Chain A
Amino acid sequence: MDKMPRWADVLLVPLICLIIAFFFCGILIWAIGQSPVEALTIMITGSLGSTYGWGYTLYYATNFMFTGLAVSIAFQASLFNIGGEGQATLGGLGVALSCLFIPWPHWSLALAGSMVAAMAFGAAWAFLPAWLQAKRGSHIVITTMMFNFIAYALMNYLLVNVLRPVGKMDPASARFDEVTNLPQLGEILALVGIPFSTRNPANISLLIALACAVGVWVLLWHTRLGFAIRAFGKSEKAAVYAGISPVRITLYAMMLSGALSGLMAINSVQGEANRLLLNSVEGAGFIGIAVALMGRNHPFGIVIASILFGFLYQGGSQLALGTTIPREVIVVLQALVILFTGALPYMVQKPLERLFVRRAA
């Protein structure tokens, strides 16, 4: 036996990473003169101690599931899509246009329409960088990042000059019609008799995100296209030899990725804000990269990692509300957890592996 059991790799490594991360967070909190135990208690009870807290945790997690899945699909084709931010911004525009200008009779139709619009806009935003990569060899990291800035500028132009109601100060669109409001998670769970707070933004998008995770898993490991994407990611030359078109796979993978990023907007734009804001994405596109890394590019891992990041976001909010720990330190705490769980698992993996191998020997 030269490898450790899979359960240890999947469960024990992240757990140990998390404990190390919390240890260093504790030192930091202690160093600024606060109580680490109290801070940790506030974080955990605030985000997981009530259905209200869970609602926020799951709301953030839903965003990260979409963007994490988006990054992972492109990653399987060894394309590093940093443009989740821009694609999700455009997805938000699609959702807003659909909700503002189409008189939907029912929320379910509005949701379907928004999903189509969000995916179309997100995919369209990913198309050009993908085409440039496939045809011209312009590096996808550079082009997608540039497209983020173009998306910001476009959104700013549209919100300030076109979509903003006259006389309003806020560069945001008008509120969507109430018909388009999505059912909240609390309302859905009440149908099956589970009491869950409705005073939080968690909504039906969570179920769609979970369905997308299953969909991505089926696509990648049980379809021909998924096989082609993975084969292309492993070795472009071998893929070409097997008759797989690099241009087509690059385009498909990136547009799927863009569509998933765009879908995030049904949660943040339609589910939470009910209007289009200037920064509706709020870094979720970038967090998606960390989520995908931590979830080892597997849909199941991404769902778990998303919930952890949701916990960090909601716990961080509660920390700001419940203590006098400054906002900047909270960002450092979140970053420490990301550092240890996302970037440094190998630090734990190797010694642990040795431990297991020695015991088995």
Chain B
Amino acid sequence: MTLMKHLLGASALLALTAGAALADPAIIYDVGGKFDKSFNQAAFGGAERWKEETGGTYKELEMQNEAQREQALRQLAEGGANPIVMTGFAFGDVLNAVAPDYPDTKFAIIDMVVDQPNVKSVVFTEDQGSYLVGMMAAMASKSNVVGFIGGMDIPLIRRFGCGYAQGVKAVKPDATVILNMTGTDGSAWNNPVKGAEIAKSQQSQGADVIYAAAGGTGVGVLQAAADMGILSIGVDSNQNYMHPGSVLTSMLKRVDNAVYDAFKEGEALTAGINVMDLKAGGVGYAMDENNAALVTAEMTAAVDAAAAKIVSGELVVHDYMSDNTCPAGQF
């Protein structure tokens, strides 16, 4: 009798948790944190947009350390969250090991390809978006010297820098592109003071347009550029509003769309590689009233023409990560 009761109780509990399992998607932010004004915050924006439109709820989690990655994935999967979205390439290896254990759960990873039947991999062609803003930088520059400030020195950020340098050289082959990285450890993503210092150093070398692809560090770069009266270019989110009249444009990386789409697809999430390129609207440049006075019709015409060529395949931007070299500049 008591055994029966236990069994019934257990199955009732299972049914309950299974019922709850149908409910919520989950998002895991990488160690950079939810409010980095850039990459993770864009993801947060996508999740919030989904919440507003559907009235649903979602679970979210910010990573504290490396060992937590696997733990968080397993616990969310076992708790019934579906789909589980994670921002950042650093999850790739762990997800590759965890995903086969939960065949009924769908996962989505941003900035990384994980080849598993229940994983959607969303990657962006940052080289293409950076190419376009590079062209714009070259056309806006009077000194023929432009700068790039990356966050942490990793291949992904070199891909940004390399695309940018190619865009600059496409417009002005004799222009100088100064490529700098903020640092070699994780703090380089959130060091606005150092970002401002590098921006000043680049300005003293003649740069009058500086592109920051450095997460929270970019806030300092944009500020310094505004203070010195030169132009800057934002990244990931539209950062034009931060210093109207000084931010030339922003290289958009629509992480928010990736998260929103994954949440919207829900448990029916389609696995496979999803390349968010220029064609798919995954990357681009930002135009609004804050930078309307800075960008001429000529500039947009040239950039849009190049964009059309990239979309049609006529123009191929070299991807740094395909062979770890950059034809247009030295890191």
Interface string of B145-168 (1 = CB under 8 A from A): 000000011111000000000000
State which size class the interface on A falls in: 35 or more
Is B74 an interface residue, CB under 8 A from the partner?
A: yes
Is B174 an interface residue, CB under 8 A from the partner?
A: no
Is B62 an interface residue, CB under 8 A from the partner?
A: yes
Is A251 an interface residue, CB under 8 A from the partner?
A: no
Residues of B within 8 A of A320 (CB): 61-62, 64
Q: Interface with B: A23-31, A96-104, A108-116, A150-158, which one?
A: A150-158
Bound-state Cα–Cα, A330 to B64, Å: 10
Interface string of A312-343 (1 = CB under 8 A from B): 01001100110000110011000000000000
Q: State whether A317 touches B89 (Cβ < 8 A).
A: no
Q: State whether A169 touches B111 (Cβ < 8 A).
A: yes
Bound-state Cα–Cα, A321 to B72, Å: 7
- Minimum CB–CB distance from A244 to chain B (whole Å) comes to 39
Q: State whether B61 touches A156 (Cβ < 8 A).
A: no
Give residues 303-327 of B contacting A (CB, 8 Å): 321-322, 324
Q: State whether B184 touches A317 (Cβ < 8 A).
A: no
Interface string of A142-166 (1 = CB under 8 A from B): 0000000000110011001000101
Is B296 an interface residue, CB under 8 A from the partner?
A: no
Q: State whether A157 touches B67 (Cβ < 8 A).
A: no
Is B205 an interface residue, CB under 8 A from the partner?
A: no
Q: State whether A278 touches B186 (Cβ < 8 A).
A: yes
Q: State whether A327 touches B89 (Cβ < 8 A).
A: no
Q: State whether A317 touches B71 (Cβ < 8 A).
A: yes
Report if A279-B89 is in contact (Cβ < 8 Å); known contacts: A160-B154, A169-B155: no
Q: State whether B33 touches A167 (Cβ < 8 A).
A: no
* Of listed A152, A169, A268, residue having the most chain B CB within 10 A: A169
Taking CB as reference atom, which chain B residue is nearest A277?
Answer: B66
Q: Interface with B: A9-17, A170-178, A183-191, A293-301, which one?
A: A170-178
Q: State whether A278 touches B185 (Cβ < 8 A).
A: yes
Residues of A within 8 A of B275 (CB): none
State which size class the interface on B falls in: 20 to 34
- Minimum CB–CB distance from A126 to chain B (whole Å) comes to 20
Is B294 an interface residue, CB under 8 A from the partner?
A: no
Report if A169-B156 is in contact (Cβ < 8 Å); known contacts: A157-B184, A321-B61: yes
Q: State whether B321 touches A156 (Cβ < 8 A).
A: no
Q: State whether B68 touches A317 (Cβ < 8 A).
A: yes
Q: Can you show 29 pairs from A to B with CB atoms below 8 A apart? A: A153-B185, A156-B153, A157-B184, A160-B154, A164-B155, A169-B112, A169-B155, A169-B321, A170-B90, A170-B93, A171-B154, A172-B93, A199-B74, A200-B71, A201-B67, A201-B70, A272-B67, A275-B93, A278-B185, A279-B185, A280-B66, A282-B66, A316-B64, A317-B64, A317-B68, A320-B62, A326-B62, A327-B33, A330-B64
The 7 A-B residue pairs with the shortest CB-CB distance, nearest first, are: A156-B184, A169-B89, A327-B62, A152-B185, A282-B65, A153-B184, A171-B154
Query: Which chain A residues have a beta carbon within 8 Å of chain B's beta carbons?
Result: 56, 59-60, 152-153, 156-157, 160, 164, 166-167, 169-172, 175, 199-201, 268, 272-273, 275, 277-280, 282-283, 313, 316-317, 320-321, 326-327, 330-331
